[in-house]
Structure formats: structure tokens, C-alpha cells
Structure 1
Amino acid sequence: MRARHASHQARRAREFEAFVAGAAGRLLHAATLLTAETPDANPRARRLLALSLAHTYACWDRLHGEDPYDRTRQYLATRFAREIWHRYGLLGRARRRPAGALGVLAPHERLILVLRLYEGVAEEQASALLGLPVDRVRTICDRATATLLRPPPAPAPPVAAKAATP
């Protein structure tokens, strides 16, 4: 009995390692886009990925043919959404803008944009995952895309005061 249990645990570990070897890079990139950190300095994204992979490993035996990548991506997205809620609240308290390419977007806009455009999740699936109406997901995605394609203008440089001539 003990040998069979050890064999099962070893097989489970090998399967999970193979999954991580194939999916971790793409999932880390998605997490980095969500957190809007730079790829070489992304501690929040790495933490988010580690928590998501730990959750997937804990549920590994209960997947029963379900796609582990999809499960990990769902947990990654819901964990990020929960962090947004706890960090910024309902009214979106003032926050510093991240330095990454998607830093001009609000966190919820980044979440929907990454799910829809980078991960290819359908509007209906993103809607169900986030608990938002489909029209709201479409509107947020369209607004985020427009913001990225036409960023707001930079502030005008300060005008130097002309020196008075005597």
C-alpha cells in the first residue's frame, strides 16, 4: 500500500513538473502583463504565478481531464482581481502607475485586456470568470485598447518666463 502511494505521488510530481516546464513561461508573461511590471523586475508577477501554481498542484488529482493551464490561468486572474479589490477598493484609491508597457491602464483594464487579447479568452468566459456582464467586459476591453493605441498626450513642457529687457 505504501509503495503504491509513493508511486502515485512520484507520478503526480512528474506530471506537474512537465506541466510547469511547458506553461510557466507563458503564465509568467501573463502575470507580468497583469502587474505591469518590467520583465526583468517582476516580483509581484512571480508571487502571483507561484500562488497560482501552488493552487493548481493542490488540485492536481481533482482535475479529472480538465485543462491545468486553464485552471491555473483562472486562478491567476481571480487572484489578481481580488488583489485589485483589496488594494484599491471600490473607488480606486490613488495609485502610482507601474512602469511597464500596460502601466497606463487601470488594473481592471489590464486584467480584461490580458485575458481577451493575450490569452484569447472569449468575452463570455471572461464575463463568467470575473462576474461582470458581457457588455461591460466588451466596453472595458475596447476602452483599454483605445488607450493603448492612442495614449493620452503628455503634459506640455513648462514655459520659461522671458527675462525683462532693460
Structure 2
Amino acid sequence: MRERHASQEARRARDFEAFVAGAAGRLLHAATLLTAEAPDENPRARRLLTLALAETYASWDRLRGDDPYDRARQQLVTRFAREAWHRYGAFGRHRPKGGGILTGLTPRERLMLVLRLYEGVTEEQTAALLGLPTERVRAICARATATLLHPPARPAPTVPVAKVAPS
């Protein structure tokens, strides 16, 4: 009995390691986009990924034919949304100061773009995952895309004016 249990645990660990070897890079990139951190300096994204993978491993035996990547992505997105809500009080208002490409977007806008454009999740699936109407997902994604394509103009730098001495 113990040997059978030990071999099942070893197989489970090997299966999960193979999954992580194939999916961790893409999931880390998605987490880095979500957190708007620089790719080489992304502690929040790594923490999100670690927690999502730990939860996926904990439920590994209950997947029963479900895609483990979808489960890990769902955990990642849920943790990001919860963290953004608790950190900033209102989901969608804070724009981080970081080195990521999506820095100019709110957490909600980043979430929509990552799911829709990077991960290829349909509007309907995104809406169901986040508990939003499909039209809302479409509108937020369109606004975020427009912001990326046409960023707001930044004020021109001030140039010091030379003082002229009276003659």
C-alpha cells in the first residue's frame, strides 16, 4: 500500500514538473505583463506565479481532464485581481511606475489585454472569469488598446529662459 502511494506521488510530481517546465515561462511572462514590472526585475510577478502554481499543484489530482494551464492561468488572474483590489482600494485606478510595456494602463485594463491579446481568451470566457458583462470586457479592452496605440501626450519639457540684464 505504501509503495503504491509513493509511486503515485512520484508520478504526480513528475507530471507536475513536466507541466511547469512547459508552462512556467509563458505564465511568468503573463504575470509580468499584469504587474507591469520590468521583465528582468519582477518580484511581484514571480510571487503571483509561485502562488498560482502551488494552488494548481494542490488541486492536481482533481483536474480530471481539465487543462492544467487554464487552471494555473485562472489562479494567476484571480490572485492578481484580488491583490489589485486590496492594494489600491478600487480595482482599476492605479497606474504603476515601472518598466513594463503596459505601465500606462490600469490593473483592469492590463488584465483584459493580457487575457484577450496575449493569452487569446475569448470575450465570453474573460467575462465569465471576471464576473463582468461581455460588453464591459469589450469596452475596457478597446479603451486599453487605444491607450497603447495612442498614448496621451506628455507635457513638453520646460526650457529655462535666460534673464536679460537691463541696459
Question: TM exceeds 0.5?
Answer: yes
Normalising to structure 2: TM-score of the pair?
A: 0.95
Normalising to structure 1: TM-score of the pair?
A: 0.95
Partner of 1:30: 30
Partner of 1:163: 163
Q: CA deviation at 1:48?
A: 0.3
Partner of 1:108: 108
Calculate percent identity across the aligned residue pairs.
72
Is it true that 1:53 corresponds to 2:65 in the alignment?
Answer: no
Partner of 1:10: 10
Contact 2:32 2:42 in 1 (8 A): yes
* Residue segments in structure 1 that go unaligned for 5+ positions in a row: none
Please give the residue correspondences for 1:89-104 in structure 2 after superposition, counting only pairs within 5 Å.
Answer: 89-90=89-90, 96-104=96-104
Instruction: For 1:95 and 1:38, locate their aligned partners in 2 and report how far apart those are by CA, in whole Å.
Output: 14
Partner of 2:74: 74
Q: CA deviation at 1:93?
A: 6.4
Q: Bigger relative contact order, structure 1 or 2, given CA contacts below 8 A and separation 6+?
A: 1
* Residue segments in structure 2 that go unaligned for 5+ positions in a row: none
Contact 2:36 2:101 in 1 (8 A): yes
Please give the residue correspondences for 1:105-144 in structure 2 after superposition, counting only pairs within 5 Å.
Answer: 105-144=105-144
1:23 counterpart letter in structure 2: A
1:7 counterpart letter in structure 2: S
- Provide the alpha-carbon RMSD of the alignment: 1.4
2:19 counterpart letter in structure 1: F
